[in-house]
């Protein structure tokens, strides 16, 4: 039986057992498995990883381990440049677009409310999510780490928090999105981009009170829903302001 010494850094520790967190530990193996296979058995999805050093050298996921290797595994870096080393993921996506698993409907609406491109349907199964993510260059957000362990997944993130407020803060910080917020620009139901629509075109579809009090309307070209700044808007605006505000503390 051979073994390698592993050490995971920063938020990658979230996936490990307490006895493995923030310290070196030994992993036993037979033969010469790939570093990806061993990392998956430890429960860490590869899309969260940006850099692997084996005995100080950067390697790809298919690097094969030998007895006595020392392996350091790092998450996506945001604060310093590692371009001289091997980056494991293809270059970052230029356009930030997401696809969410079926359990994250509230998060989908929240991100759309801030104007982000979010593909979500409650009847997408896992293979469909992966196919669409690859085809449409979307980042998969999920609470199911097994979904991220599929080899085809290149860009993905395991959502740590179980609650909407925590999830929104997490995603905005992780993908550095606060500078790209364009609130109320997207249909929260279907992800279509909203466009201003003349009152005359939609007036017949409005409830009488809305017809009387509001002049400006927006329509989703995909599902034809009409939006206006009614009572609900002010409730949503408070949410948007809270999410736009800089985070208080937390892991940097």
The CA-CA-CA angle for residues 226, 231, 233, to 5°, reads 60
One-character DSSP codes across 127-191: HHHHHHHHHTT-EEEES-HHHHTSTT--SEEE---SSHHHHHHHHHHHTT-GGG--TT-B-TTT-
Q: How far is the CB of 226 from Zn ion (least distance, A)?
A: 10
Q: Is 118 left (phi over 0), alpha (psi -120 to 50) or beta?
A: beta
- CB-nearer residue toward Zn ion: 57 or 233: 233
Nearest distance, CB of residue 185 and Zn ion, angstroms? 12
Compute the least distance from the CB of residue 190 to Zn ion, in Å.
Answer: 3
Q: Which stretch binds Zn ion (CB under 5 A): 11-19, 186-194, 196-204, 235-243?
A: 186-194
Q: Which stretch binds Zn ion (CB under 5 A): 99-107, 130-138, 191-199, 231-239?
A: 191-199
Q: Are 126 and 147 in contact (CB under 8 A)?
A: yes
195 binds Zn ion (CB under 5 A): no
Encode burial over 172-209: b for 16+ CB neighbours within 10 A, e otherwise: bbbbebeeebebbebbbeebbebeebeeeebeeebeee
Instruction: By CB under 5 A, tell whether 192 contacts Zn ion.
Output: yes
User: Within positions 211 to 250, which residues make up the interface with Zn ion, using CB under 5 A?
Assistant: 220, 222-223, 225
CB of 35 to Zn ion, least distance (A): 44
Round to the nearest angstrom and report the end-to-end CA distance of the chain. Answer: 39
Nearer Cβ to Zn ion (140/220):
220
- 3-class DSSP state for residue 23? coil
Measured from the CB atom, the residue of 195 and 203 that comes closer to Zn ion is 195
Q: Which stretch binds Zn ion (CB under 5 A): 154-162, 174-182, 185-193, 202-210?
A: 185-193
Residue 65 has a CB neighbour count (10 Å cut-off) of: 22
Phi then psi for residue 100, to 5 deg, are -110, 150
H runs (alpha helix) in 10-84: 35-41
Q: Which of 88, 187, 194, 219 binds Zn ion (CB under 5 A)?
A: 187
For Zn ion, the closer CB: 128 or 222: 222
Which of 12/111 has CB closer to Zn ion?
111
Binding-site member from 190, 202, 226, 236 for Zn ion (CB under 5 A): 190
Q: How many residues contact Zn ion, by CB under 5 A?
A: 8
Q: Which is nearer to Zn ion, 99 or 187 (CB)?
A: 187
Which residues form the interface with Zn ion (CB under 5 A)? 187, 189-190, 192, 220, 222-223, 225
């Amino acid at each position: 039986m051979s073994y390698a010494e592993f050490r995971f850094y920063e938020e990658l520790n979230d996936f490990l057992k307490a006895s493995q967190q923030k310290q070196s530990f030994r992993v036993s193996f037979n033969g010469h498995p790939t570093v990806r296979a061993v990392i998956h058995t430890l429960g860490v999805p590869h899309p969260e990883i940006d850099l692997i050093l084996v005995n100080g050298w950067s390697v790809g996921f298919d690097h094969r381990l030998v007895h006595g290797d020392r392996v350091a595994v790092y998450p996506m870096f945001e604060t310093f440049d590692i371009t001289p080393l091997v980056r494991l993921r293809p270059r970052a996506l230029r356009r930030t677009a997401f696809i969410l698993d079926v359990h994250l409907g509230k998060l989908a609406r929240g991100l759309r409310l801030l104007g982000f491109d979010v593909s979500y349907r409650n009847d997408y199964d896992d293979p469909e999510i992966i196919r669409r993510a690859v085809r449409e260059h979307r980042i998969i957000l999920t609470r199911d780490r097994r979904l991220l362990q599929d080899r085809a997944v290149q860009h993905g993130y395991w959502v740590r928090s179980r609650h909407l407020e925590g999830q929104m803060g997490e995603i905005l910080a992780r993908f550095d999105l606060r500078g790209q917020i364009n609130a109320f620009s997207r249909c929260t139901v279907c992800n279509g981009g909203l466009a201003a629509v003349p009152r005359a075109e939609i007036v017949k579809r409005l409830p009488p009170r809305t017809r009387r009090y509001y002049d400006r309307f927006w329509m989703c070209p995909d599902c034809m829903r009409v939006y206006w700044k009614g009572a609900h808007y002010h409730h949503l605006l408070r949410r948007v302001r809270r999410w736009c505000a800089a985070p208080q503390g937390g892991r940097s």
